[in-house]
Amino acid sequence: MAVAEKTPDVAAAPAATRRRRSFRPHYPAWLVAPSLLYYTVFFLGPMAILVAFSLATQRGFGSLSYGFDTSQYRQIGSSLYLTIFERTLLMAGLGTVATIAVGYPVAYWMARYLSTYKMLALLLIVVPFWTSFLIRTYALKIILDPHGYLARDLGINILYTKYAVAVGLVYNYLPLFILPVFASLERMDWTLIEAATDLGARPFTAFREITLRLTLPGVVTGALLVFIPMTGEYIIPNILGGGNYEFVGNLIGDQFNQAQNQPFGSALSIGLMAALSVFVIAYILVATKEEQFGA
Amino acid sequence: MRKRRLTAKHAFTAWAVVVYGFLFLPILVMAVFAFNKPSSAALAGFHGSNSCSIPPAQIGNITVWNGFTACWFSAGLHDPTYIPAIVTSLQIAAVAAIISTVLGLCAALALARMKPRLRAPFDALVYLTLVVPEIVIAVASLIFFVQARNYVHAFPSLGKVTILIGQVVFNASVTMLIIRARFVGMGDVLEEAAYDLGSGPLATFRQVTLPRLMPAIVAAALLSFTFSFDDYVVPAFTNGTTNTWPIVLYSAVRFGLTPAVNALATIMLGITLAAVIVTAVMLRRSRVRVGPQEAPVLPV
């Protein structure tokens, strides 16, 4: 995603020179029609029904009548559900910070110190994606098991706690963060660092003033790229939290699987999107501001 | 000065080794535990001839090492639930990859050179499909499919087709972005030359645009296949009674499993790695013949 976002600007440049051309090849606009139709029916359609359901009233088990009933949304405001929202955002935030702390040095190491084995190192970062997400989470469960070596011999017994959920989050989303950050570190001009140190800057000052600033857009993109799916996470809290540490995603799933309270589940979904949109809008504002000032 | 840089490098390398260890330890555990025996207590109470035919409920604790056996591989390959589920997942992922790539390719071609003002609403829609959490797409698709089936009789009931429809939303956006990045990046000089030399639009597409887009198209299709094959959340809500591999895995992880699951996952990882290595070798050979090429769009 991040890779795709960056490229158009680069390539828009030759088109902008606007020299006179015999013919400017372009493809007909109707080629968008199939995907536009698809998104309208199978994405906007479900979203519209979701909104309608969230305002409907539950009548008995599994049947409902449409209307403008905001009681579902008021129910989210009760402390029990607000706690789960708070916990989800907090855990996703902490998970993102931990992912940055773990992943940034690795991306830095690849971009700065590797040459021959750079692509191999990058490939190894993606290899975990070729094993089922569920199997890897299950393997983490084996590692963290109370009867396992980690718990018995090292005394780290964290399965079914928030710490296990945090480890699972970082583990699963780490590659997704490293890739865009590596891409922005790859564009770094390391001679700037040399110049700074030659002029007497300490290595850390040079890093803070140059490397960090130049790669910040990549870090922010990567952070958002992992924060969003972490907030909607469903499997990790279920398997590693053992039901003790539910996220909003689990709460939504329960309304459709067990409770059959679809209006409330729909309202929770809208609530989750509303919470997320705050962060996405903040990101867009920051990104456009940076573009304007050419940072 | 020189000494200091060396220690910084060492510190980063050490950290990278730790992180790679963290990334690969679970995969190693998965492969090693594919050779794990049932617990000795469970074996004592089990009277079958093949210790790998022991049901998950009686297997005892298999999260600790009980001893070596290789029989889970054959048990997994003959399992009546796992194998059909894997086949179903492969079918859905293949069709999802084809549909998403075609949709993504068409949209990418039209959008890349469209006026920004016309493009913006479509772009917003695409980013929306990526930003909305998967669980929300899953439940929204579920209620949509149920309602659609209620009102339109021809609409398929929950099953393979609805899983596919739900997954293509996200996948088509991903394929579009990958293909468009490549298309925009390669510029239109060669296409212009083809036109100037008298080639028609279709011939230009087939002989100039398509071959140059191929790496991105293949990368997009593979990524879409991977996403679809490994996806649990959308199928979990839109599957009806169809079982996909992740659905079977999830209930196995929650309600009890045998190392046959590890064995199958290990086999699949082995096949994937072999395929990647073969592809890499072939790509390297063709690159030598064709000469230098543009960098791949995604390092996947």
Lowest mean pLDDT, pick from A14-23, A100-109, B142-151, B207-216:
A14-23
Please provide residue B68's backbone torsions phi and psi, each rounded to the nearest 5 degrees. Answer: -95, 135
pLDDT digits (tens, 9 = 90+) for A220-230: 989 999 999 99
**Closest to B242 in 3D by CA, of B167, B147, B135, B131:** B167
pLDDT band at B268 (very low <50, low <70, confident <90, very high): very high
Q: Å from A225 to nearest chain B CA? A: 9
The pLDDT score that the predictor gives to residue A7 is: 44
**pLDDT over 90 (residue A293):** no
C-alpha torsion A128→A130→A134→A137, nearest 10: -10
Residues 70-99 of B with CB under 8 A from A: none
- What's the first-to-final CA gap in chain A, in angstroms? 20
**pLDDT over 70 (residue B114):** yes
Computed over every residue of chain B, the mean pLDDT equals: 87
Q: A79-293: which CATH architecture?
A: Orthogonal Bundle (1.10)
Q: Nearest CB to A25: which of B204, B230, B262?
A: B204
pTM across the whole model: 0.86
Inform me whether the C-beta atom of residue B124 falls under 8 Å from chain A C-beta atoms.
Answer: no
B269–A22 C-beta distance less than 8 A: no
Residue ranges covered by each domain of chain A: 79-293
Query: What ipTM does the predicted assembly reach?
Result: 0.87
Best of B1, B72, B132, B264 to disrupt the A interface by mutation (most A CBs within 10 Å)? Answer: B132
Inform me whether the C-beta atom of residue B190 falls under 8 Å from chain A C-beta atoms.
Answer: no
Question: What percentage of residues in chain B have a pLDDT greater than 90?
Answer: 56
Name residue A190's amino acid. W
Lowest mean pLDDT, pick from A126-130, B60-64, B81-85, B133-137:
B60-64
Residue ranges covered by each domain of chain B: 86-258
B16–A106 C-beta distance less than 8 A: yes
B147–A127 C-beta distance less than 8 A: no
C-alpha dihedral sign at A66, A70, A73, A74:
negative
A265–B125 C-beta distance less than 8 A: no
Question: What percentage of residues in chain A have a pLDDT greater than 70?
Answer: 89
The pLDDT score that the predictor gives to residue B294 is: 47
**pLDDT over 50 (residue A10):** no
Letter string b/e over residues B252-283, b meaning 16 or more CB atoms within 10 A of that residue's CB: bbeeebbbbbbbbbbebbeeeeeebeeeeeee
**A7 interaction partners in chain B (CB closer than 8 Å):** 181, 184-185
Q: Going by C-beta distance under 8 Å and a sequence separation of 6 or more, which residues neighbour residue B86?
A: B245, B264, B268
The pLDDT score that the predictor gives to residue B57 is: 81
**B176 interaction partners in chain A (CB closer than 8 Å):** 35
**pLDDT over 80 (residue A5):** no
Inform me whether the C-beta atom of residue B132 falls under 8 Å from chain A C-beta atoms.
Answer: yes
Tell me the average pLDDT across B291-295. Answer: 44
Q: What is the DSSP letter of A259?
A: S
A128–B27 C-beta distance less than 8 A: yes
Residue B233 to residue A231: CA distance in whole angstroms: 14
B162 CB-contact burial (10 Å; exposed 0-12 / middle 13-18 / buried 19+) = buried
Please provide residue A243's backbone torsions phi and psi, each rounded to the nearest 5 degrees. Answer: 85, -5
> Residue A156 CA to chain centroid, in angstroms?
28
Per the DSSP assignment, residues forming a β-bridge with A59 are A63
pLDDT digits (tens, 9 = 90+) for B176-186: 999 998 888 88
Lowest mean pLDDT, pick from B196-205, B235-244, B265-274:
B196-205
A1–B232 C-beta distance less than 8 A: no
B140 CB-contact burial (10 Å; exposed 0-12 / middle 13-18 / buried 19+) = buried
Q: Å from B25 to nearest chain A CA? A: 9
Looking at chain A, how many residues does it have?
295
Name residue B240's amino acid. G
A145–B16 C-beta distance less than 8 A: no
Computed over every residue of chain A, the mean pLDDT equals: 86
The pLDDT score that the predictor gives to residue A294 is: 47
C-alpha dihedral sign at B218, B294, B274, B19:
negative
The pLDDT score that the predictor gives to residue A263 is: 92
pLDDT digits (tens, 9 = 90+) for A259-287: 788 999 999 999 999 999 999 898 888 87
Q: Going by C-beta distance under 8 Å and a sequence separation of 6 or more, which residues neighbour residue B169?
A: A38, A39, A42, A43, B129, B137, B141
The pLDDT score that the predictor gives to residue B288 is: 52
User: What is the 3 state secondary structure string of B126-148?
Assistant: HHHHHHCCHHHHHHHHHHHHHHH
Tell me the average pLDDT across A15-35. Answer: 68
Residue B287 to residue B188: CA distance in whole angstroms: 22
Question: What percentage of residues in chain B have a pLDDT greater than 70?
Answer: 93
CATH for the stretch B86-258? 1.10.3720.10
